């Protein structure tokens, strides 16, 4: 895993975007998705008691939903990841030189 993350945006651009109305709207939508995935997981558990689906199908579906929720959580935190990459010492970071 010797690949470096390249962030072309400046720290100020990332921070400004993080405070923008657009980012707030995006995060709100992603949180709604995450809540929908959680409700779907809850319904799988409730339905399993009455429909008796195969354990493999239930586990695969639950794993899929968990993966979706983790991806959403990661994306919500992506700007913090970008900022932490910008904070890394220059010798470890591949950059276009703009800051």
pLDDT per residue as tens digits for the range 19-69: 999 999 999 999 999 999 999 988 887 777 677 667 788 888 899 999 999
- What pLDDT score does 97 carry? 52
- What pLDDT score does 2 carry? 58
- What pLDDT score does 55 carry? 79
Number of alpha carbons in the 13 Å side-chain half-sphere of residue 40: 15
Domain boundaries, the chain: 11-86
Write out the chain in H/E/C secondary structure. Answer: CCCCCECCCCHHHHHHHHCCHHHHHHHHHHHHHHHHHHHHHHHHHHHHHHHCCCHHHHHHHHHHHHHHHHHHHHHHCHHHHHHHHHHCCCCCCECCCCC
């Amino acid at each position: 895993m010797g690949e470096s993350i390249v962030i072309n945006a400046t720290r100020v651009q990332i921070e400004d975007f993080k405070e923008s109305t657009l980012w707030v709207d995006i995060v709100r939508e992603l949180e709604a998705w995450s809540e929908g995935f959680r409700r779907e997981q809850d319904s799988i558990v409730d339905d399993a008691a009455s429909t008796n689906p195969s354990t493999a199908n239930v586990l695969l579906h639950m794993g899929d939903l968990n993966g979706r929720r983790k991806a959403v959580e990661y994306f919500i935190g992506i700007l913090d990841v970008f900022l932490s990459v910008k904070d890394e010492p220059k010798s470890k970071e591949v950059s276009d030189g703009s800051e």
